[in-house]
Amino acid sequence: MSFIREPMPELSPLLLLLIGLIFVLAGMIKGLAGFGMPLIAIPALTLLTGAPVTLAMGWAIVSLVLTNLAQAFTARAHAREALRVWPLLVGLFGALAISVPMLARMDPGSLSMVVGAMILLVVASQLLRPWQISQRWQTPVLGVAGVISGTVGGLTSFFGFPAIQALIATGISSGGFIFTVSIMFFVGTAIIGVALTTYGLMGPADLLLSAACLPPALLGLKMGQAVRERVSVPTFQRILKIMLVATGTSMIVNGLF
């Protein structure tokens, strides 16, 4: 089955500079909050450069894969804890692999609206009180959460909800959480990258640009980590939520019109 690739914006020096700045900002958010690079990079690329959502995903692939691989390596001492939550990972990766073809079939307007709605849902989920899963129910709950996250991820490329909330509810240690989430995003993003390439939505030029986005992303990551202790966490979280709400709403409006 063939898929229609949306046209790529003309990459002028000014546009390349803008893309670099977007990845500096996205990396900084990840350095400050420990998450959020795709939530910032993909919508910003779509809204500010005019790139289709699938193309924006492709441009972010290398940065997302390698930053999560590096984060998993630093937390490798906690790798055995990931075995406790295997239903989550198996369900997520399986559902993602099955549903990801839908990402290529959706028209750009609908995809923009779905991505925007997903961003708003992620923000809303952060307002919920933490919950706990008893040992008896962990396997089925983690499995269901993984399947839901993988299915949503196949449609939008965002597969953190409700997987992250379910993972936290198991009481996993912070080190185990970091390792598991890093592996989850590393493998999941790689699956999406393979799908985009297979369906002709990401070509060699896109992969080259994606690789070129890695240095500014790493620069932003270092900057965010450097100022993390100097920024009021509650203030930063409020600013981030406002940014995400504005971004998600803009994506929905962009898809409608």
How confident is the model over 99-139, as pLDDT tens digits?
A: 888 877 777 678 778 888 888 887 787 677 767 888 888 89
- On whether residue 1 sits in a domain, the answer given is no
Q: Above 90 in pLDDT, residue 51? A: no
pLDDT, mean over the chain: 84
pTM: 0.80
CA 137 from centre of chain: 27
- On whether residue 128 sits in a domain, the answer given is yes
Q: Above 90 in pLDDT, residue 16? A: yes
% of the chain at pLDDT higher than 70:
91
Q: Above 60 in pLDDT, residue 1? A: no
The Cα–Cα gap between 3 and 251 comes to 23
Give me the number of domains the chain comprises.
Answer: 1
- On whether residue 2 sits in a domain, the answer given is no
Q: Above 50 in pLDDT, residue 244? A: yes
Q: Residue 249 carries which side chain, given as an amino acid letter?
A: T
CA atoms within 13 A on the CB side of 69: 9
- On whether residue 120 sits in a domain, the answer given is yes
- The two tokens of residue 120 are 């708003």
Instruction: Pick the more confident residue, 66 or 247.
Output: 66
Distances in Å between the Cα of 198 and the Cα atoms of 68, 104, 192, 226, 250 are 22, 10, 10, 38, 30
Mean pLDDT of 232-255: 75
Instruction: Pick the more confident residue, 255 or 118.
Output: 118
Q: Above 80 in pLDDT, residue 177? A: yes
Q: What is the pLDDT of residues 192-219, one digit of tens each?
A: 999 888 888 888 889 999 999 999 999 9
E strand or H helix at 121, and its extent? helix 108-125
Residue 34: predicted pLDDT: 67
Confidence at 3, pLDDT banded by 50, 70, 90: very low
What angle separates helix 233-256 from helix 37-49, to the nearest 10 degrees? 40
Compute the CA torsion angle 135, 137, 143, 148 (nearest 10 deg).
-120
Report the greatest alpha carbon distance in the chain: 57
User: Which residues touch 190 (CB under 8 Å, ≥6 apart)?
Assistant: 65
Residue 233: predicted pLDDT: 63
Distances in Å between the Cα of 214 and the Cα atoms of 71, 144, 146 are 15, 34, 28
Residue 4: predicted pLDDT: 47
SS3 51: coil
Confidence at 232, pLDDT banded by 50, 70, 90: confident
- On whether residue 5 sits in a domain, the answer given is no
Q: Tally the residues of the chain.
A: 257
- On whether residue 234 sits in a domain, the answer given is yes
Residue 2: predicted pLDDT: 44
- Host domain of residue 127: 13-256
- The two tokens of residue 146 are 């993984």
- On whether residue 240 sits in a domain, the answer given is yes
Is residue 238 within 8 Å of residue 32, measured between CB atoms?
Answer: no
- On whether residue 220 sits in a domain, the answer given is yes
Q: Above 80 in pLDDT, residue 98? A: yes
Q: What is the pLDDT of residues 58-94, one digit of tens each?
A: 999 999 999 889 888 888 899 998 898 999 999 999 9
